[in-house]
Amino acid sequence: MTSTTAVSPPAGALPSSRRWAILAVILAAEVLDLIDATVTNLAAPAITADLHGGPALVQWLGASYALALGVLLVVGGRLGDKYGRRRVFLTGLTGFTAASVVCGLATGPETLIAARLVQGAFGALLIPQGFGILGAAFPRDQIGKAFSAFGPVLGLSAVGGPILAATLIDTDPFGLGWRSMFLINIVLGGAALAAAHRLLPRDTGERTTVIDTLGSALLAGAMSGLLFGLIDGSAHHWRPASWTALAAGAAFFALFARRQTTAASPLIQPSLFRNRGFVSGLVLGIAFFAAVSGLLYVVSLFLQGGLGYSPLRTALTGSAPMAAGIVIASIACHQLIGRLGRTLILIGLLTTLTGTLALWAAVHTWGTTTGAAAIAPAALAIGLGMGTCFGTVYDITLGDVTPDEAGSGSGALTAVQQLANALGAAAVTTVYLHSPARPAHAMATSLLLVAGIALVCCCLVRLLPRAAQPQHH
């Protein structure tokens, strides 16, 4: 997706202590993104009650961030190539921190959603620069050690982030409630920004890099139309405006697809669409990531709205077991993908399906009296399935692409995950919010939808490449 830019001083000239400090800065940015992408899963009920936003606010909280991040992620990488990764990283981190403050001070739903969009947009500038900066800062023989730190750090953040967010909401420090989740970024983002400004090496960029702004605008129009149609339809009983937005989104997507075949520097190389394995992986990824993203949301809504759990109890019962499962499976699959290939994806999908059906059986049987003893093991199983699929889907999908297609394919898959997160947050919660007065029925229906999508994904596995390329795993 990106080309190498000139960096001064060269990696070998940087002191070892500075290289590892640079890694800490990049990891801090990744942790900020991970936490802010997921905290609204837990905080949605508290935010909605405070701002009186209704069901639409619940859906837009996560979807708006993922929408902006997904649409602009590839563009963010190319901007780093063009203007220098250090400059774009600092711009992204500054904007992300400022948008977090606006989120924390928002007085109405519209302000909060707009701030989340801005936060995601600056996140799209911030996140793609990390690997390029590390690749320039570390010698080739040490880069593997640097990258190996990502798994444990992000894993701990995935487990600890929801617990921290829930603790802040429950303890209500300084009377800030849910706002403290965003305002804490003043400290975290400010410290990372000061360190980045002092530590990151300067690079000149390559001004001849071409950025397809029209393609990005068409993709933004497509996703915005689809999301607005889904959310507005569920909130206003599918009025004409909802169908118009969906039709406009479909039209923009057709124009985006056409643009990819004519642009001088497309966001996705057209040759990838002639690769059956890649296209199958792309479709499977969209479906799976959308389903599990929506599932994370409705589990939190059900535990708090249906069972009356506090945010902290919700985190400990649902979010933390899922996150723990993701971490455990991700570490294990790193060692297994070379031996099992695409079979590992099937195992992950079946594990996700099993956990989803176990949770459905518990909700269907006990309704709003479902206990944590039934929920936590099912959540752990779902997390194990998700962790098995997350990285594996990427690696297998890229299994038979050519080296010159790998960058575009990898960037497309990363962006697709974020866009699928946005669609899933809107679509699955639309099903759940259709019957807000009957939370157990709404939850059971949502779980069956997720189970159905997982089953369809199982059927797509046989169309994927059999194995990942050796360098990917």
pLDDT tens figures, 144-167: 788 777 877 887 787 788 888 889
**pLDDT for position 13:** 66
Contact criterion met (CB below 8 Å) for 411 and 74: yes
pTM: 0.87
Contact criterion met (CB below 8 Å) for 125 and 92: yes
Tokens of 193: 């920004």
**pLDDT for position 470:** 66
Q: Does domain 271-473 have CATH number 1.20.1730.10?
A: no
Query: How sure is the predictor about 87, in pLDDT bands with cuts at 50, 70 and 90?
Result: very high
**pLDDT for position 331:** 85
- Which superfamily, per CATH, for 7-210? MFS general substrate transporter like domains (1.20.1250.20)
* 45-49, 197-201, 378-382, 469-473: least confidently modelled range: 469-473
* Residue 147, CA distances (Å) to 28, 65, 132, 218, 418 in order: 14, 26, 12, 34, 22
Summarised one tens digit per residue, pLDDT across range 158-193 is 778 888 888 988 988 888 989 999 999 999 999 999
Flag whether pLDDT at 126 surpasses 90.
yes
Flag whether pLDDT at 435 surpasses 90.
no
> Which of 272, 313, 314, 301 lies closest to 413 in space, CA to CA?
272
**pLDDT for position 3:** 43
Top pLDDT among 35 and 443 is at: 443
* 74-83, 144-153, 293-302: least confidently modelled range: 144-153
Query: How sure is the predictor about 468, in pLDDT bands with cuts at 50, 70 and 90?
Result: confident
Average pLDDT for the chain: 88
Summarised one tens digit per residue, pLDDT across range 447-458 is 999 999 999 999
How far is 136 from 140, CA to CA, in rounded Å? Answer: 9
- Spans of all domains in the chain: 7-210, 212-264, 271-473
- Average pLDDT (83-106) is 95
Residue 387 CB contacts under 8 Å (≥ 6 apart), including other chains: 325, 326, 327, 328, 329, 330, 333, 348
Query: How sure is the predictor about 12, in pLDDT bands with cuts at 50, 70 and 90?
Result: low
- Average pLDDT (432-446) is 90
Summarised one tens digit per residue, pLDDT across range 403-425 is 878 778 888 888 888 888 888 88
Tell me whether the CATH fold assigned to 7-210 matches the one assigned to 271-473.
Answer: yes
Half-sphere exposure of 52 (CA within 13 A, CB side): 1
